[in-house]
Structure 1
Amino acid sequence: MRPYLPVILTALCLAGCSGEKQQKPRAVPLVEIQPIAATSFTDDLEAVGTALANEQVVLSAPVTERIEALNFADGGFVAKGQVIARLAVGQEQAELASAEATALQAGQQLQRIQSLKDRGFATGATLEQQVALSNAARANAQLARASIGDRVIRAPFDGWVSLRTVSPGAIVTAGTAIATVSDISRIKLDFTIPETRLAMIRTGMPIKAVSAAWPDRPFNGTIATIDPVIDPATRAVKVRAILPNPDKALKPGMLLTVSVMARQRQSLSVPELSVVGDGDERFVFIVEDRTAKRTKVGTGIRQDGRVEILSGVKPGQKVVTEGVVKLTDGVTVRLAGDKNDAKPKDGSGKGAR
């Protein structure tokens, strides 16, 4: 009997310790709750768009000629009507002088024949012939002036001019680009959306655009035009929005991420931390009489740190927002702000530590 005494004592000791552990109450979990309320949610359409100038034109040489002067600085501002470039007009000036002289002579001859006709010394046919000659001479003079005007290139609107690629003295051929003038006081933003989302947008809707150059600065604008024709290859429709650009931060050619605030609604919501996933199902813990009840819910979109709740709960119910990981269905909880005197669920009378 004596050899087995240490084994018996050890077994009794372990049994006593095990019983003591089983009797030790669990601490009541501390949680934070808030009532379920309605929140504004927005259905957004995401797209990628390209920035375009409000107005943009490439000014080209109308004829093959030598450049006499360029009157703009690289990237400088030009006003409407300002002379951008002058082409050589020596030959055209000579042609104009000749045409004006011919027109003057024809006009004087017309006056003389008219006087003779009034006195009966000239026929009507002679007068008509001279009228035609006088008109032709004036037309030739106007043609020479127009030819000179074509060699003076002006800005068609206020804008910013591109970097210069030609120099005075260079001979340019007809169609050679001399400068690009861009009005970027506002920006046209073109993007496409799927045909299936066409019913969600309309002109006047607000949009928000973000560029890689200014990632922390959203640019707000509105939809101005929706293309009436859908591209049959992509089944998408092109949309054009207008963005104010008072500080010229946006440049034509920029790639921007577009968010269209298509539809706004009020729905019940909870913080993202309140939602627990189990496979394809979602749950929240509703607190009633200090008891947490695991409740299945239907969820919608996530926005600004909150989850849209479509079913399973009612407005005003208290949902756990902090301490969800400590909970199981039916457990008694202690609320933030309570004194540390909550009773454990087994009724032992010992407060949670």
Structure 2
Amino acid sequence: MLKKFLIATGGFAVVVLTLGAIKVAQIKQMSSVSHVPPPAAVTTAEAKPMEWHSYLKAIGTLAPVEGATLSADADGIVSRIVADSGTAVKAGDLLVELDASVEQAQLASAEAQADLARLNYERAKDLWAQKSNSKSDLDLAEATLKQSAANAAALQAQIAKKQVRAPFDGRVGIRVVNVGQFVPRGKDMVPLQKLDPIYVNFNVPQQQLSDLSLGQKVSVSIDAFAGRLFEGGLSAINSEVDPSTRNISVQAKLANPEEKLRAGMFAQVEVELPTGAPRIVVPATAINYAPYGNSVFIVEKMKGPDGAEYLGVRQQFVKLGDTRGDLITVEEGIKPGEQIVIAGVFKLRNGMSVQVNNTYQPTSDPAPKPANT
């Protein structure tokens, strides 16, 4: 019995040792095979310096070049509305007229008195020439004529105060009075605004003051006209800085021949700043964003542990600048002429082997217009 047990145990041990030897041989064979991962396919682009126009962005409000809410300079009842709401008028056009029937009657009487005074003066002047009256009679006739003319002129001025006329070319807004309504002196009656050209007012930080100058190109976008830019130039810079916000008020003038832009509209303003030195610009897809620092991968020749040369990537930390559309500027970290990975960045590691395939290039549009999905 013991002999059978020993034979069985020995046979089992031989089988285990044989299997272990085979497995060790397999492991040695596997370890001798190279397990270098295949090169990663990437897309590259050459870093080139280019002119980059920086823009100062701000929020603004449209304002008319000339605008006022007109009112009468006298009390009265509205007798006539000549220019209705939305009408385009010229300077001097009559807009609204108040009842001036009493003043008109008084003016007729004053003009009759002035005519009589003129005749009396002419007679007195003829008599004085003939030495048939005294100098005091001539002076009295002249003074009476002047007083009568002044009375008539005063009534004409009073009537003019009851006529609301356009002080400048523009477009009438929505009137707030109706025929037959009594309006006191100074009450708002009708708004009038000149809309072409039109101003856009906005504020910028005082740090940007040195970058601004009259005539700089300004682009304005309005939510009501999506996708359309209205262009103009910087027309005025305020002479003082707001001490509470440390901002300075700036004004630009825009052409508005179609009068699509209206005063009070919300506007997004971009001021084109002077062009500085050429800057390195790369597609935004080339940036590997990370909390510890943003970086790019530069493709260059490298040597492996065995001394063999291969095409690999070197991770380079960079300082980023302005962004515009699909493009971003790099202030520091990249030299002109270096090959930058612009697609496939997410799968790369420092020193990794790569294979360049530039068949497909990612978009790099400074003003992309993606489909509205």
Same fold (TM over 0.5): yes
Q: What corresponds to 1:327 in structure 2? A: 348
2:316 to 295, 305, 311: 295
From 83, 108, 120, the equivalent of 1:72 is: 83
Instruction: Assess if the C-alpha contact under 8 Å between 2:72 and 2:163 holds in 1.
Output: no
Deviation per CA, 1:113-161: give whole Å up to 9, x if none.
1122112121212211211111111111111222222222222222221
1:182-234 CA deviation, whole Å, 9 max, x = no partner? Answer: 11122111111122221111111112222232232222221100111222222
1:286 maps onto 2:298 in alignment:
yes
In the alignment, what sits opposite 2:66?
Answer: 55
1:243 and 1:208 map into 2 onto residues whose CA distance is 9
Q: Deviations over 1:46-71 (max 9, x none)?
A: 22111111211211122111111112
Offset at residue 326 of structure 1 (A) = 2.9
Aligned residue identity for 1:233: S
**In structure 1, what is the Cα distance between the partners aligned to 2:164 and 2:256?**
27
Alignment of 1:111-126 (within 5 A): 111-126=122-137
Matches within 5 A, 1:177-196: 177-196=188-207
Is the contact made by 1:41 and 1:303 (CA closer than 8 Å) also made in structure 2? Answer: no
| Partner Cα distance (1:84, 1:248) in 2 | 21
Amino acid aligned to 2:295? F
The answer on 1:227 being equivalent to 2:238 is yes
**Are residues 221 and 130 of structure 1, via their aligned partners in 2, closer, same or farther at CA, if it must alter by over 3 Å?**
same
Aligned to 2:261: 250
Distance in 1, matches of 2:281 and 2:114, equals: 85
Q: Which amino acid aligns with 2:317?
A: K
Q: Does 1:261 align with 2:272?
A: yes
Q: Kindly provide the amino acid, as one letter, of the partner of residue 254 in structure 1.
A: M
- Given candidates 91, 95, 99, the residue that maps to 1:84 is 95
Find the residue that maps to 2:294 and give its secondary structure.
Answer: strand
The 1:193/1:19 distance shift into structure 2, 3 A limit, reads farther
1:270 to 282, 293, 313: 282
Determine the C-alpha separation between the residues in 2 that align with 1:215 and 1:334.
43
The answer to which of 113-122 and 147-156 deviates more is: 147-156
Structure 1 stretches lacking a partner, 5+ long: 339-353
Distance 1:176 1:279 in 2: 62
Residue 238 of structure 1 pairs with residue 249 of structure 2: yes
Identity of aligned residues (%): 27
Cα gap change, 1:318 to 1:109, in 2 (>3 Å): same
Kept in 2: contact 1:297–1:310 (CA 8 A): yes
Kept after mapping to 1: 8 A contact 2:38/2:353: no
- The separation in 1 between residues aligned to 2:164 and 2:128, in whole angstroms, is 47
Partner Cα separation in structure 2 for residue 321 and residue 186 of structure 1: 45
Report the Cα distance in structure 2 between the residues aligned to 1:303 and 1:11, rounded to whole angstroms: 65
The aligned counterpart of 1:311 is 332
Alignment partner, residue 345 of structure 1 = none
Cα offsets for 1:241-266 (capped at 9, x unmatched): 11111222211111112222223232
Aligned to 2:44: 33
- CA change 1:8–1:318 in 2 (3 A) is same
Counterpart CA distance in 1 for 2:230 and 2:69 is 27
Secondary structure of the residue aligned to 1:285 is: strand
Moved more, 184-193 or 227-236: 227-236
Match of 1:129 in 2: 140
SS at match of 1:115: helix
Q: 2:156 aligns with which of 145, 160, 164?
A: 145
SS in 2 for 1:284: strand
CA distance in 2, matches of 1:257, 1:177: 31
- Are the counterparts in 2 of residues 86 and 151 from structure 1 also a CA contact under 8 Å? yes
Find the residue that maps to 2:127 and give its secondary structure: helix
Query: Which amino acid letter does the alignment assign opposite residue 272 of structure 1?
Result: A
State the partner residue of 1:174: 185
Give 2:341's aligned amino acid. V
Task: Provide closer, same or farther for how the CA distance between residues 238 and 128 of structure 1 changes in structure 2, counting only shifts above 3 A.
Answer: same
* Residue 214 (structure 2) aligns with: 203
Structure 1 residues 8 and 178, CA gap change in structure 2 (3 angstroms): farther
CA distance in 2, matches of 1:283, 1:171: 74
Closer, same or farther: CA 11–235 of 1 in aligned 2, 3 Å: farther
User: CA RMSD of the aligned region, Å?
Assistant: 2.5
1:78-115 deviation digits (Å, cap 9, x = unpaired): 23332211211111111111111111111111111112
Within the candidate set 209, 222, 226, 1:215 is matched to 226
**Cα pair distance change 1:23/1:57, threshold 3 Å:** same
- Structure 1 residues 135-144 or 80-89, which shifts more? 80-89
Partner SS state of residue 238, structure 1: strand
